Structure 1
Amino acid sequence: MDFIFELMLIVLCTKLAGDLSVRLGQPAVLGKLIAGIVLGPAVLGWVGQGAFIDEVAEIGVLLLMFIAGLETDLDQMRRSWQSAFAVAVAGIILPFVGGYGTGIAFGLSGNFSLFLGVVLSATSVSISVQVLKDMNKLNSREGTTILGAAVLDDILVVILLAFMMSMLGAGAEVSIGALLGKKALFFAVTIAGGWLVVPRVMKWLAPLKVTEAVVSAALVVCFAFAYFAESLQMAGIIGAFAAGIAIGQTGFKATVEEKIEPIAYSLFVPVFFVSIGLNVSFAGLGEHWLLTLAVTAVACATKLAGGWLGARATGFDSRSSLIVGAGMVSRGEVALIIASTGLQAGLLIPEYFTPIVIAVIFTTLATPPLLKLFIKDEPRRQPNA
């Protein structure tokens, strides 16, 4: 029964922490992330990592990105594709070089330094999505650029990781051509499915004489797209985001959005926010505190600069470019997955795993206040705290 107690704590503490964060002038999501650190092994130890929490958190982040897809202005995203591409490329090159340089500066091996560059190149915009939603910026030019850049970043970083593993002889030989083929297949099937199949599936399942048939059909589509993405070595959140866009083009958008948010924000999304904080552990940190600080600083600065450069080069003004850069800073679960992959493949020395994980968490914690700093005050939606 421990998991029931943990769920009670998570829901209660994230709501209270989110409310306190808003009262202090910060986005609600910052309080929720800190609640995870306090509840987790780093402080109180009341909530522990485990398969149950991980799986509920996975559903939470999928639903969060699915809702982002529902609310995305597809026309605005099409207009922003050049900016998204520039932001993704610059946001990979600068962190990769910065991560490699940091590793070399601390006397680490060339292989480890290269892998550190790959970890810092990753981006997870799930936290940024929540802040942008709360501040009415998700459908702005900056918001759609961040979302588009995140999709491209996922593709490029996975290919970069595969190239590094192949070049450094870690694990089985990886075919870059096969990877590219899988990415192309994903987009081809997703676009065709979203255009031709999803509307028919929704029309077929919606009239069923069962409770909440429409939202159930939407969840089937969301999870199917996420599973398909994972099977082709894409992040599941990209599949969920694509599913949201597809359903957003149908006549069921308003109904699904109204019904799905209470499901997501009452339980699953709070668990996702807390799960990020559960990764923080200060055990053995004292020995590598300087490396942790350096990696964190380089991670934040290079992503922010890369996003800023890509946005400025494609017509954004300076403030808007800073918003884009700040939205790309969080590494979140994507970088954690890459770090774990490197640990298993022997590319990451075990004693440096904790400093990297903590640096990744710090980039995630830094993202909400950075976005808050750069986004001008304007009428906001009620935060989903």
Structure 2
Amino acid sequence: MDFLGILCLLILATTLAGHFAHRAGIPAVIGEILVGVILGPALLNWVHLTTLVQTFSDIGVVVLMFIGGLESNLALLRKYLRPAIIVAIIGVIFPVVIMGLASRFFQFSWFESLFIGVIFSATSVSISVEVLKEFKVLDTKEGATILGAAVADDIIGVILLSIMIAMMGGQSGVAQTNLGIVLLEQVGFFIGVFIVIKWVAPYLMRLSDHLLMAASPTIMAIIICLALAWLAELVGLSGAIGAFFAGVAIAQTDYQHVVDVSIEPVGYTTFIPLFFVSVGLNMTFKGVWQSLPFIVVMTVLGVLTKLWGCGLGAKLNGFSRHSNYLVGAGMISRGEMALITAQIGFSAHLLSNDYYSDIILVIIVVTMIAPFVLKNAIHRAGQVTATHSIIEEH
């Protein structure tokens, strides 16, 4: 029963934090992350990342990305697929090379340095999606590019991680990864996604009208969402990716609005705030002073490698200067994807225990900086201009 009290405290705290963040002109997610920092091990130590809190957080990511998919324009995603792939590739190369080389100056081995680069090549678009939604910029060419690049980024990250674990040769009980099977499974997943969007989701949503249950279309949409999220995790991708495509699938049916207005209250009353809180709960300041130079350097590079790398990718596709900045800013956040990669690598002994907590701290600090940079980029690009560009293109 203690969990009910913790849940009550966190929902109250995130609601107030989000309110005052809005009043201060700060993205609401920052207030919610700070709740985790203040109430968690970093400061007051009242709340810990228990199994139940983590489970609610995981559901929060899935629901958030499902809503992001629901509110995305599939035609726009297709149109900006090529720019998204280029943005993702360059956005992976920059952190792998630059942060990998920087790690060598802090006496990491070449193998550890390379893995640190791989950790920071990951992008967690969940937080960017929330900021883009908050400022009504999700359904723009920049938003579509960020979403597409995040999907490609996730696939590249899984491949790089698979290669590194394979290079370990099954040490310490970690099974050697068959990269060919991983790639084949992921190709199969995306073929399955196409089938779901084209035929399965429309059929199931029409079928839901005949079910004698309250809110049956929403129930069916949730079933599709959870199924695709589970399948994505089964092939080594993030469940958030599966949830996003489930949202895209439902958006192509006549039930988009019904599902959207039903899902948002469920997500934002409980699950989504706990996802942002969990980011803060991962933070700890233990031993921070001894590692401060490493943390500062890696935090700065963590921001700049995505900002410059993904911005360069957008520039190569003919985007304007402000759009380059917006796309780069939208890819800065690392969040759960980098945390998961770091945890897997730590378990596989790709990263020593000495610097593991410092890496986690850098990931969280970079993730907290990302919404500020993204908000600044949105204001510079001009929300009205971005919206008008979509109307003109159609």
Provide TM-score, normalisation by structure 2. Answer: 0.94
User: Which letter does structure 1 place at the counterpart of 2:276?
Assistant: F
Match of 1:279 in 2: 282
Deviations 1:159-198 (A, max 9, x none): 0111112123353222221111111101001111221111
| Same amino acid, percent of matched pairs | 42
- Give, as a single letter, the amino acid of the residue that structure 1 aligns with 2:68: A
Query: Is the aligned partner of 1:120 residue 2:123?
Result: no
- 2:76 is the counterpart of 1:76: yes
Match of 2:163 in 1: 163
Unaligned runs of 5+ in 1: 381-385
Q: Secondary structure at the match of 1:49?
A: coil
Q: Distance in 2 between matches of 1:168 and 1:302?
A: 27
**One-letter amino acid matched to 1:107:** Q
Q: Which amino acid aligns with 1:246?
A: A
Partner of 2:11: 11
The 1-side partners of 2:344 and 2:374 are apart by 30
Q: What are the residue-to-residue correspondences of 1:10-29 with 2, within 5 Å? A: 10-29=10-29
Counterpart for residue 383 of structure 1: none
SS in 2 for 1:287: coil
Question: How far, CA to CA, are the matches of 1:309 and 1:168 in structure 2?
Answer: 33
Instruction: Output one character per residue of 1:299-328: Cα deviation in whole Å (capped at 9) or x when no partner.
Output: 111011111100000011111111100100
Matched, 1:149 2:149: yes
Q: Which of 167, 172, 185 is equivalent to 1:182? A: 185
Q: 1:317 aligns with which of 317, 320, 323?
A: 320
Corresponding residue SS for 1:285? coil
Contact 1:308 1:325 in 2 (8 A): yes
Partner of 2:244: 241
2:228 counterpart (225, 229, 232): 225
What letter corresponds to residue 310 of structure 1 in structure 2?
G
Q: Which ranges in structure 2 are unaligned for 5 or more consecutive residues?
A: 387-394
Q: 1:226 & 1:176 partners in 2: Cα distance?
A: 21
Deviation string, structure 1 residues 235-276 (Cα, Å, up to 9, x no partner): 100000000000000011010001000000001101111011
Deviation sequence 1:322-357 (CA, Å, 0-9, x none): 110010001100000000001110101011111100
SS at match of 1:106: coil
Count of residue pairs the alignment pairs up: 381
Amino acid at match of 2:272: V
Equivalent position amino acid for 2:330 in 1: G
CA deviation after TM superposition for structure 1 residue 378, in Å: 4.3
Q: How far apart, in 2, do the equivalents of 1:317 and 1:89 lie? A: 19
Distance (whole Å) between structure 1 residues aligned to residue 6 and residue 187 of structure 2? 41
* Partner residue, 2:339: 336
8 Å CA contact retained: 2:86, 2:313: yes
Contact 1:17 1:35 in 2 (8 A): yes
* Structure 2 residue 368 is the aligned partner of structure 1 residue 345: no
How many angstroms apart in 2 are the aligned matches of 1:378 and 1:31? Answer: 23
Distance in 2 (alpha carbons) for counterparts of 1:33 and 1:298? 21
1:186 and 1:37 map into 2 onto residues whose CA distance is: 36
Q: Which amino acid aligns with 1:234?
A: L
The residue that corresponds to 1:199 in the other structure is 202
